[in-house]
């Protein structure tokens, strides 16, 4: 084939794909009389086969960001957890297009989606994290092997079948881990109940562009109960006195009871699960709220499961949230002599010889009531540099905040001041924290 012939062939393919996309947006070939989906605002969508709909912006992505720096920081978090006897298992939920390629429309190619490239990127994503010491789960493979459709046809969440398949894959890793032999075991039974409908904002938005009713979001109820009570206290949550064998963090995929991921995981793993996932918390809400909680601080679990859709970029907010997670996971701190000139202000005199550039200052507010802490580093000349850590509304309020020193540090550092959004409680203080797993 000549170069000119190759160019003509590529152009023909692009034109055909573009034509398919235009035809789909006009409503031609729609099974539900849908028009204008691909240009809909705020959620553009594609109608696939068998009543399955895909989000245009998220499900049609071939690539998902994971920089070397982010992968290294994830490794640091895993190492810090391991030092406290906890195994991190990261669960990157694939896009709907990766989990359900058989129902993709021909128009997907017109938007640049290539299933072969997307699969390669997904596997490389897992391999990169594994190379940095992070245990990962092949959720794509698990969901493709699910008994039913792994995603809801007209919603972006996984289905109970998809959740159950991933829970089984996570449980295989847990059962194969050396730590599994040391945790309390509990046998569970999961029963299927009546069908019910779930409200879906995605379905509502799509339906507005369609003449006929698109598939409703329906699923059965599930109930998981303990057959034998280990430390489960009659349910799937671990007893408060001893820390859970398995702590589950993540997004609405894990938090919403309709999908029953927590129950499926407890059943498959044969161990109690405590669910700390947060709906609307995105990539960091659940894991940050948990690792900054008294539950983790006082009673670390044997396993932390971190579920996160792969399109939620771990590096979206820079290094700050990852560094705080690593410091919180290590929780290796010593108190500083602290004064309180005001109810919400804590101050400690500390020099660069005491606080290394790659260290952390932690404020212990005395109670999990805080959502914001402003750290101010003051040098010998009185020059101040500040940074603020905030907990979004959907995160849990926390007792602790960790500020990485490097962005604020100077060789003439003399004092650190922290201003809180809430009055400090009894026992509040500043602390110096270090971890060998984090490099400046």
Q: Is the pLDDT of residue 4 over 90?
A: no
Domain spanning 333-433, CATH architecture: Sandwich (2.60)
CA distances from 31 to 28, 40, 105 (A): 9, 18, 12
**4-13, 58-67, 217-226, 286-295: lowest mean pLDDT where?**
4-13
Written as one string, the DSSP assignment of 133-144 is: T-EE--HHHHHH
**Mean pLDDT, rounded, for 10-25:** 50
Contact indicator for 263, 220 with CB cutoff of 8 Å: no
- Other C-beta atoms within 10 Å of 414: how many? 16
Degrees to nearest 5, angle at CA 306 with 218 and 243: 105
Query: Which is it for the CA torsion 251, 57, 46, 41, positive or negative?
Result: positive
Q: Which of 108, 262, 244 is nearest to 184 (CA)?
A: 244
Token duo for residue 404: 């990485």
* Tens-place pLDDT, residues 189-200: 999 999 999 999
Q: Is the pLDDT of residue 377 over 50?
A: yes
Q: How far apart are CA 159 and CA 258, in angstroms?
A: 9
Q: Is the pLDDT of residue 29 over 90?
A: no
**Mean pLDDT, rounded, for 114-135:** 98
**23-32, 39-48, 142-151: lowest mean pLDDT where?**
23-32
pLDDT at position 11, please?
Answer: 46
Q: How far apart are CA 124 and CA 63, in angstroms?
A: 10
Q: How many residues does the chain have?
A: 440
**Mean pLDDT, rounded, for 213-227:** 97
Residues facing residue 47 across a β-bridge: 53
Classify residue 27 as left (phi > 0), alpha (psi -120 to 50) or beta.
left
Q: How confident is the model at residue 87 (pLDDT cuts 50, 70, 90)?
A: very high
**Mean pLDDT, rounded, for 310-331:** 97
Q: Is the pLDDT of residue 372 over 80?
A: yes
**Mean pLDDT, rounded, for 100-104:** 98
**Mean pLDDT, rounded, for 9-25:** 49
pLDDT at position 25, please?
Answer: 57
Strand runs (DSSP E) across 238-358, as ranges?
246-249, 273-275, 303-309, 333-335, 339-342, 345-349
Contact indicator for 91, 306 with CB cutoff of 8 Å: yes
Residues facing residue 374 across a β-bridge: 388, 419
* Tens-place pLDDT, residues 388-439: 999 999 999 999 999 999 999 999 999 999 999 999 999 999 999 987 644 4
Q: Is the pLDDT of residue 22 over 80?
A: no
Q: Which of 42, 37, 70 is nearest to 312 (CA)?
A: 70
**Mean pLDDT, rounded, for 113-125:** 98
Q: Is the pLDDT of residue 219 over 50?
A: yes
Contact indicator for 130, 89 with CB cutoff of 8 Å: no
Q: How far apart are CA 197 and CA 358, in angstroms?
A: 51
End-to-end C-alpha distance for the chain, whole angstroms: 53
* Tens-place pLDDT, residues 238-290: 444 467 899 999 999 999 999 999 999 999 999 999 999 999 999 999 999 99
Q: How confident is the model at residue 232 (pLDDT cuts 50, 70, 90)?
A: very low
Written as one string, the DSSP assignment of 81-114 is: HHHTT-EEEEEEEPPHHHH-GGG--GGGGGGT--
pLDDT at position 434, please?
Answer: 85
Q: Which residue has the higher pLDDT, 32 or 29?
A: 32
Domain boundary assignment for the chain: 68-328, 333-433
Strand runs (DSSP E) across 288-354, as ranges?
303-309, 333-335, 339-342, 345-349
Q: Which of 236, 334, 326 is nearest to 288 (CA)?
A: 326
Residues in contact with 46: Cβ distance below 8 Å, sequence separation at least 6, in sequence order: 24, 37, 38, 53, 54, 55, 56, 59, 60, 105, 107, 108, 111
Strand runs (DSSP E) across 336-395, as ranges?
339-342, 345-349, 360-364, 372-379, 384-390
Q: How far apart are CA 56 and CA 35, in angstroms?
A: 14
Q: Is the pLDDT of residue 231 over 80?
A: no
pLDDT at position 435, please?
Answer: 76
Q: How confident is the model at residue 347 (pLDDT cuts 50, 70, 90)?
A: very high
Token duo for residue 158: 């996984």
**Mean pLDDT, rounded, for 152-170:** 99
Contact indicator for 37, 25 with CB cutoff of 8 Å: yes
Q: How far apart are CA 285 and CA 279, in angstroms?
A: 8
Q: How many CA atoms lie within 13 A of 346 on its CB side?
A: 28
């Amino acid at each position: 084939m000549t170069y000119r012939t190759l160019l003509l062939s590529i152009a023909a393919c692009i034109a055909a794909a573009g034509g398919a996309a235009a035809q789909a947006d006009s409503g031609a070939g729609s099974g539900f009389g849908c028009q204008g989906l691909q240009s809909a605002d705020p959620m553009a969508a594609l109608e696939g086969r068998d009543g399955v709909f895909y989000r245009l912006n998220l499900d049609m992505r071939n690539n998902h960001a994971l920089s070397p720096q982010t992968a290294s920081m994830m490794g640091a978090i895993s190492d810090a957890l391991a030092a406290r006897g906890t195994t991190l298992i990261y669960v990157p939920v694939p896009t709907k297009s990766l989990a359900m390629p058989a129902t993709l429309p021909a128009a997907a190619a017109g938007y640049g989606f290539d299933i072969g490239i997307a699969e390669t990127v997904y596997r490389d994503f897992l391999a990169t994290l594994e190379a940095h010491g992070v245990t990962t789960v092949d959720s794509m493979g698990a969901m493709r092997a699910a008994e039913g459709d792994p995603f809801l046809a007209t919603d972006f969440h996984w289905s109970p079948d998809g959740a159950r398949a991933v829970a089984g894959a996570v449980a295989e890793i847990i059962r194969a881990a050396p730590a599994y032999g040391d945790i309390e075991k509990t046998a569970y039974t999961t029963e299927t109940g009546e069908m019910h409908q779930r409200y879906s904002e995605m379905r509502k938005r799509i339906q507005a562009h369609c003449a006929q009713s698109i598939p409703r979001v329906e699923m059965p109820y599930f109930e998981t109960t303990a057959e034998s009570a280990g430390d489960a206290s009659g349910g799937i949550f671990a007893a408060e006195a001893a820390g859970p064998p398995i702590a589950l963090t993540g997004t609405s995929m894990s938090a919403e009871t309709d999908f029953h991921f927590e129950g499926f995981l407890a059943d498959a793993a044969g161990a109690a699960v405590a669910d700390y996932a947060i709906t609307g918390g995105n990539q960091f809400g659940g894991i940050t709220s948990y690792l900054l909680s008294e539950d983790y601080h006082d009673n670390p679990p044997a396993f932390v499961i971190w579920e996160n859709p792969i399109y939620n970029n771990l590096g979206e907010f820079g290094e700050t949230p990852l560094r705080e997670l690593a410091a919180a996971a290590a929780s290796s701190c010593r108190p500083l002599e602290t004064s309180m000139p005001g109810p919400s202000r804590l101050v400690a005199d500390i020099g660069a010889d005491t606080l290394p550039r790659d260290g952390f200052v932690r404020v212990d507010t005395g109670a999990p009531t805080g959502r914001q802490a402003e750290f101010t580093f003051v040098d010998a000349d009185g020059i101040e540099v500040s940074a603020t850590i905030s907990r979004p509304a959907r995160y849990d309020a926390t007792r602790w905040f960790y500020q990485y020193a490097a962005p604020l540090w100077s060789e003439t550092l003399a004092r650190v001041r922290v201003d809180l959004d809430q009055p400090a409680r009894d026992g509040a203080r500043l602390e110096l924290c270090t971890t060998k797993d984090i490099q400046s």
